[in-house]
Chain A
């Protein structure tokens, strides 16, 4: 019974927010086009596999809002998820922001309808 409970407990993932930050928000009119990006990396038996996934998340965000548009009001969230009594972990970074300024791209216009 105890073993079963432990096993079930190990299957449920516990999430912890490691760090969070918000940058300057744009004016109300410019908060129409919300974009987001995330990337993660596993940590197995406390052995991580690099931190390049953070750069990947930023690249994903930039790809959604090409120049000359700007990315503003960036909410950065770093989350760690534990599985199997922390033997396996997932380090994840999530970015949510607004794409503003410049001309809207075709996909954005389509999104708006």
Chain B
């Protein structure tokens, strides 16, 4: 029995240490478009040892990465998840930001009644609301 425990306990501890506990720090969701056939997803990650972290510049990479995934359109309906993952009894952390959205082509953006290509319909809509 003791022999089994000697193997089981360190195994459990190692398993627990290697598996990162993911805590959600922030969530946001933007307007979801009608065209949802091209989902895009990007993520950025930073490893933090013993809590030492001096900047959050990795988050800025999200936008260029999204642009790369959708070069000929705009990204709408972005769900952003900011996660903190703790490994090895929280001695090592991973700060991960995941952004999931939909790539909308220029043509359908122009067809979108709220965001027409020349802005005239939008102006008319605002004017109509004021009256």
Binary per-residue interface labels of chain A (48-68) against chain B in the complex, 1 for a CB within 8 Å, 0 otherwise: 101100110010011001011
* B36 lies within 8 A of A67 (CB): yes
Q: Is the interface of A mostly helix, strand, loop or mixed?
A: mixed
Q: Is the interface of B mostly helix, strand, loop or mixed?
A: strand
- Chain A contact residue count (CB 8 A cutoff): 37
- Chain B contact residue count (CB 8 A cutoff): 28
Question: Is B32 interfacial (CB 8 A cutoff)?
Answer: yes
* B31 lies within 8 A of A76 (CB): no
**A-chain residues with CB within 8 Å of residue B23 when the two chains form the complex:** 43, 48, 91
Question: Is B114 interfacial (CB 8 A cutoff)?
Answer: yes
Asked if A48 meets B22 with Cβ closer than 8 Å, knowing A28-B129, A62-B32, A70-B33, the reply is: yes
Binding site for B on A (CB under 8 A): 18-19, 21, 23-24, 26-29, 43, 46-48, 50-51, 54-55, 58, 61-62, 65, 67-74, 76, 78, 91, 93, 95, 97, 101-102
A-B contact pairs, 13 of them (CB 8 A): A19-B25, A24-B30, A27-B125, A27-B129, A50-B22, A54-B27, A54-B79, A62-B36, A68-B35, A78-B24, A97-B32, A101-B34, A102-B34
